[in-house]
Amino acid sequence: MALVGATAAPPPLKLFVPLLLLVCLCLLSPCQGKPNYSEYRYPFIRRASTFSSSLSSSSNGVNNAYDYIIVGGGTAGCPLAATLSQNFSVLLLERGGVPFANANVSFLENFHLTLADTSKTSASQFFSSTDGVLNSRARVLGGGTCINAGFYTRASTEFIRKVRWDEKLVNESYPWVEKQIVHRPDFAPWQRAFKDSLLDVGVSPFNGFTYDHLYGTKVGGTIFDRYGRRHTAAELLATANPQKLTVLIHATVQKIVFDTRGNRPKAVGVMFKDENGHGHQAFLKSNLQSEVILSSGAIGSPQLLLLSGIGPKADLEKLNISTVLDQEFVGKDIVDNPMNTIFVPTNGPIHQSLIQTVGITKLGVYLESSSGFGQSNDSLHCHHGIVSAEIGQLSTIPPKQRTPEAIRAYAQNKRDLPHEVFRGGFILEKLANPSSKGELRLINTNVDDNPWITFNYFSHPHDLERCVDGIRLATKVVQSKYFTELTRVDKQTTEKLLNISVKANVNLIPKHTNDTKSLEQFCRDTVITIWHYHGGCHVGKVVDHENKVLGVDQLRVVDGSTFSESPGTNPQATVMMMGRYMGAKILRNRLGRAAAV
């Protein structure tokens, strides 16, 4: 049998992130709060250290082997596990903890704190791509739904046809998610002004409140309820069959275990470590229809394939990983949707809102907006991780001068900031379906470390052209009378507006003197992520149209790493739907069309 798994540490972060980046993180990143669900609803969730490898015999011994082992309890993994457990035994392995009692996950008002937290127990794992863009990947049961801005909107019908999904089953799977965790937003004044401004500059018609992907301006759903509480994909596990599902948290899968004795490698189980660092093995039942399913996301799934010996042979040999399958496309053509923002100052306090409204343009860009900053003492005075002076990330001061006194002075200045500086909001411009493509490669064989990732933002000239069009449109939105009436700030010149964003060191990319005069330069210099990266396990190259890994048996990938484009304006709705959809499809294939799901 051949075994496999891992990644590499991000480069040292030497960046002073000023106030505007802090505000940007607060608006664009995830969550905070108190538990709104007790764990008694999920009796099948337990710590990985309680697992006994001796009870999960290999394919022949089978005392406690599983029909399905799902690696990754995230946006796709949770609905997939809940669905498959209706008829088959499922082991769901999640490297993070539970979100239910996590104060950094549950409430909208402090939702930025998880991204700012770089500790090993954080629900988000920080990484920086080689492009110099700061980024995060989820590390918690519920995945990205625990650390995102909550916006819920479906993919276009064109996307569904392009990926060759069964439209009837898709239209059954979306509502399954929606009735459990999706809400209609409490429409904020900022969002109303944004909606009116979009229509004012021609992003029409107004399509009202809808989950559908339609050209024009619309209000979408949210996974935050009217009390500001977040509802995540982990809650979809409440519909599981508790007799057939086991969920292990703090279970970090290191390798997929293969039987390589036949004509084709066959996945038979996984190796994982628990929260104490002790190793375990879990195995599939001796059944040709049993499967290991990777749902670890656009970074985790290609990373695990590589660590397990599925990838370019030359690259694997450099790290002494035994090659199970020489597969040149694993980790290739990974894409991130670039985003640029324009800060909109206000002359008074503004109600906090995350994404509620979107402008879907025919320019190939989407416009969204968020407002307000969590103005609680926790938000203003907390330890802000990567954006905090308390850990010495003062790159404007040479390392030898980062004395305890300098750090204390910076921290005091932050505490003394008046609330007025936290007023305002952002217009977000996201590029739809970028042509620029990147790559993911292993740096080492430690699964806890991040791989080497480059997205090559704006390497394709068409992407840069569309970004310029989007920034021009976004500045018109900011200058609309509806925004000036709300913000009580005079209409500002485009250069003035852009200059505010340029001064915020939102990434590790050097700035240029002409970046407010050249919109092309502005796009390059101020690019950030909206966490919608995808690809690396593309259909037709790494997996087939059933999401089965090409060249091996009993191994599948079900997550956004299989996408060639990010679905809709924001992908979480479709990734959750995909988990339900693929689970229902697998059940129907095994049990017949009459399978009850």
Report whether 95 belongs to an annotated binding site.
yes
CA–CA gap between residue 51 and residue 538 (Å, rounded) = 33
Q: Assess contact for 466 and 458: CB atoms under 8 A.
A: no
Decide: 372 and 352 in contact? Cβ < 8 Å. yes
Give the chain's length.
597
Minimal CA–CA distance to 104: which of 35, 37, 33? 33
**Annotated binding residue 47:** no
**Closest alpha carbon to 178 in 141, 207, 221, 218:** 221
Angle (nearest 5°) at CA 475 between 470 and 476: 100
Q: Is 253 annotated as a binding residue?
A: yes
| pLDDT of 116 | 74
Q: Which of 112, 213, 250, 532 is catalytic?
A: 532
Peptide bond into 205 cis (omega under 30): yes
Q: What is the pLDDT of residue 121?
A: 83
pLDDT of residue 404: 64
- The candidate with the shortest Cα–Cα distance to 305, out of 436, 451, 97, 93, is 451
Give me the residue label for tokens 């809808």.
210
State the pLDDT at residue 513. Answer: 74
**Which pLDDT does position 530 carry in this prediction?**
93
One-letter amino acid identity for 385? G
- Bridge partners of 2, per DSSP, are 258
Asked if residue 571 belongs to a known ligand binding site, the reply is yes
Per-residue b or e along 470-491, where b marks 16 or more CB atoms closer than 10 Å to that residue's CB: bbebbbbbbbbebbbebbebee
pLDDT in tens, 89-114: 999 999 999 999 887 788 887 777 77
pLDDT for the residue numbered 64: 75
Q: How much is the pLDDT for 340?
A: 95
Residue-level pLDDT at 492: 78
Residue 397's nearest CA partner among 406, 408, 386, 388 is 406
Predicted local confidence at residue 346, as pLDDT = 86
Question: Does 163 count as an annotated binding residue?
Answer: no
Strands 291-294 and 555-557: parallel
What CA–CA distance (Å, rounded) separates 570 from 106?
20
DSSP H helices in 127-166: 157-162
pLDDT, position 285: 97
3-state secondary structure of 461: helix
Tokens, residue 286 = 């001796």
pLDDT for res 382: 46
Report the distance separating Cα 204 and Cα 255, nearest Å: 49
Q: What is the DSSP string of 81-122?
A: HHHHTTTS-EEEEESSB-STT-TTTSBGGGTTHHHH--STT-
Edge-to-edge strand ranges of the sheet holding 216-219: 206-209, 216-219, 357-360, 365-371, 425-431, 338-344, 528-529
pLDDT on residue 596: 61
Beta-bridged to residue 360, according to DSSP, are: 216, 366
Per the CB < 8 A criterion, the answer to whether 179 and 109 are in contact is no
Residue 94 assigned to a binding site: yes
Digitized pLDDT (tens) for each residue of the chain, 597 residues in all: 333 333 333 333 333 333 333 334 333 333 333 333 445 689 999 999 999 865 554 444 445 799 999 999 999 999 999 999 999 999 999 999 999 988 778 888 777 777 777 778 889 998 889 999 989 999 999 999 999 999 999 999 999 999 999 999 999 999 999 999 999 999 999 999 999 999 999 999 999 999 999 999 999 999 999 999 999 999 999 999 999 999 999 999 999 999 999 999 999 999 999 999 999 999 999 999 999 999 999 999 999 999 999 999 999 999 999 999 999 999 999 999 999 999 888 888 888 899 999 999 999 999 999 988 644 444 444 444 333 333 333 334 444 554 566 656 655 554 554 444 456 888 999 999 999 999 999 999 999 999 999 999 999 999 999 999 999 999 999 999 999 999 888 887 788 888 877 776 677 788 887 777 799 999 999 999 999 999 999 999 999 999 999 999 999 999 999 999 999 999 999 999 999 999 999 999 999 865 667
pLDDT in tens, 164-218: 999 999 999 999 999 999 999 999 999 999 999 999 999 999 999 999 999 999 9
pLDDT at 401: 55
What's the burial of 158, exposed, middle or buried (CB within 10 Å: 0-12/13-18/19+)? exposed
The pLDDT, as a whole number, for residue 7 is 33
Q: Give the DSSP per-residue string, 189-251.
A: HHHHHHHHHHHHTT---EEEE-SS--SEEEE-EESB-TTSBB--GGGGGGGS-TTTEEEEES-
Active site residue 532: yes
